[in-house]
Every structure is written in C-alpha cells, then in structure tokens.
Amino acid sequence: MLTSGLDRDGRGILLFGKDLPRAETFDESDQRGTYKQANPAAIQKALDQALKLPAFGWYVLDASRRIGDKPKGYIVDSRELVAWRCDGALAVARNACPHMGAPLSAGRVCDGEVVCPWHGLRLGKTSGREKSMLRSYDDGILSWVCLQEGDEKTEHDPVLTPRPDLPIDGVIRMIARCEPSDVIANRLDPWHGSWFHYHTFARLKVLGETGDAIRVRVAFRVFKRLCVEVDCSFHCPDPRTIVMTIVDGEGVGSVVETHATPIVPGFTAIIEATLADSERIGFKVAKRLTPLIRPFIERNARRLWVEDAAYAERKYALRQEGQKAFVEDGDWYAIVGTPRRGNR
C-alpha cells in the first residue's frame, strides 16, 4: 500500500508498507521541535534504571565472524584480552603469556591453541592451562566474554533478547570518547532522531512509554521521498545494551542491538548488530544475497553512529570539562559533538 504524508519539514513523502493503527497517526505539529518532549530528567531516570540491571560480567567483544583462526587483541574494561577460534569454537584469554607476559595476540594459532611469539608456550582448552582461559559465549552474531572473577563468578549466560531466526545481519564496531552510559543515553533519547538524522528518518514520533520500553513511530527513508513507516520499541536488557525491535509494520521482529563495551575510562567500543527480517516472499531470495547486502547495512549503521558518537562524546565532554567542550587538535581547537566523518 502506498500513501502520502509529510516529513519533519512539511515536505511531501510517499509511505509504503503495512497500515499502522490510526489512533496513533502522525501529527505534523509534533515536528516543529521535540525539545519539550525530550525531558533531560526523564531520560536520566530511564538511564539510571537501565544501569541497575544485572549484566553478570558479560561484555560484547565483536562480530562473531570477525574472530577467526588468527589471534586478535582487544581491551575490555582496562584488561587486555586475546580471542581466537579453536575448532570453530570461540576462545578468549588474557593477552599476556603466563610465562613472561608476551602479547599472545602477536602469536599464531596452531591446532586450536594460541602460541606465544616469545618462547612458544601454548595456551588453549587442551593445553593443561585451562585456568588461564576466560569464559566466552558465541551467539552466532556476536562474541562475548565474561570478566567476573573469584566469588563473583556466575553460571549465567549473557542476557539475550528475541531475534529473528534467519535474519540478514550486519555488525559494526567503532570507538567513541565517552562512557558506555553516554551511548545508552543517546538511544534513550529517540526525540533527536529526525532532527540529527534527517537523511535517514523523515519523521519520528514517540508514542509513549510502557514499563521499561519506549514506543516510537518512525519513517525510514528508502530512497529520497520514498519511506517505510514502522512502530518500534526501545528497551535495555542489561546496563550496557539497548535494543530496538520493530513491533508493527514492515519487518516485524527485526532488531537493532546496540552494545557499549568499556575499553578504558573515557573510551567505549560501540558494537551494533542489525538483524533484519520480513514476511515478504522476496526476503527469502534476499537472504541468499546476505554477503552482498551486509556492506550496505553496515554502511548505513556506521553513518548514523558517526553522528550519535558525536552526541555521546559531547555529553561526556560537558560532564568532564563543564562548558569547555572542545579539545586541542593540532594548531586549532575542535568542538566536541561535531560529527567527524573523516576520522571514523
């Protein structure tokens, strides 16, 4: 079905897809500005509630497919880690050889074990040094590591939310100068969507809050004036994750998971997984083309996060420096909060 409507600035757009409930139709007057609805105190309250949720020591490392038979180094919560594959299974350990501290990420993998580049010590699940290994989890899309130690150790798996069974997926990973809470706060402010991301969202309306979820109606631009409008919800399953799920319209059940993994104080890895689904017949064909479609999904996600990372960095800078939200950059000062496309 194809209908007409207006975007944020009152320009005509064409909407296709399933009908949405009339009782919650878009009111163009809402787009004259969303600063009244975007209540800082309400956003902070939602963030405070999210930060109280248990994570059981789990952190997202990266996309599952980016960890292979070569050791790869990561920093998570100020700890150096190394990840690799052992017969296809995810393996994670401290990135310091238990012998003399060599960086295992500079070594190689042989028979499923990482080999130290300095003296050849082997580390793996069959090396007799299992205590040096960290608990890890691969959900098929993302790789996780658990950093709980001693009395804090738990048998809980990561907190996962419902996903499509066979989605078209894409995962991005980028670094922002902020704390994980700044990333989550960005997503708990959907009111900025059609203003900061006008190139992607033609119009957006927050329909309300139910329990721990925010429900939003948003028109995604497909091509210029052509848009698809859906209802989606945002909720936090753990303190470092926020999930957008399409609940009505095209692609019901599709999700976007945004994970914020601390690197060191003041630096955060943003790992976002987009998992698209559809009941349309043509989607079965599209699934076979996932390797070709994935780069476009990731490019669009990265484009949004160039801007949203600037939002998160701005919030962090203001909190750290008061009103001095600028940094020295060579011979001049850069305003924190301005998207730096060339540096992402």
Q: Last residue of some domain: 152, 178, 198?
A: 152
What residues make up the domain containing 139? 58-152
Residues 207 and 274 in one domain: yes
Q: Indicate whether 52 belongs to any domain.
A: no
pLDDT at 27: 60
pLDDT at 258: 98
Among 155-164, 172-181, 214-223, top mean pLDDT goes to 172-181
pLDDT (tens digit per residue) in 33-65: 888 889 999 999 999 999 999 999 999 999 999
DSSP-based three-state secondary structure for 219: strand
Q: Percent of the chain, pLDDT > 90?
A: 66
- CATH at residue 97: 2.102.10.10
Alpha carbon distances (Å) from 126 to 110, 116, 143, 287: 12, 15, 21, 37
Q: Indicate whether 53 belongs to any domain.
A: no
pLDDT (tens digit per residue) in 255-297: 999 999 999 999 999 999 999 999 888 888 899 999 999 999 9
Q: Which candidate, 102, 56, 52, 55, places its Cα nearest to that of 82? A: 102
Amino acid identity for residue 65 in this structure: R
Average pLDDT of the residues in 145-158:
76
pLDDT at 143: 98
Query: Are 143 and 64 spatial neighbours (Cβ–Cβ below 8 Å)?
Result: yes
Q: How far apart are CA 326 and CA 335, in angstroms?
A: 4
Show Cβ contacts of residue 130 under 8 Å, excluding neighbours closer than 6 positions. Answer: none
Q: Which helix (H) or strand (E) holds 296?
A: helix 290-321
Residue 11 — pLDDT band, cuts 50, 70, 90? confident
Alpha carbon distances (Å) from 74 to 160, 177, 313: 22, 16, 21
Residues 249 and 130 in one domain: no
Q: How far apart are CA 214 and CA 189, in angstroms?
A: 10
DSSP-based three-state secondary structure for 329: strand
Averaged confidence pLDDT in the chain: 88
Domain count, the chain: 2
Residues 201 and 305 in one domain: yes
Residues 102 and 198 in one domain: no
pLDDT of residue 24 exceeding 60: no
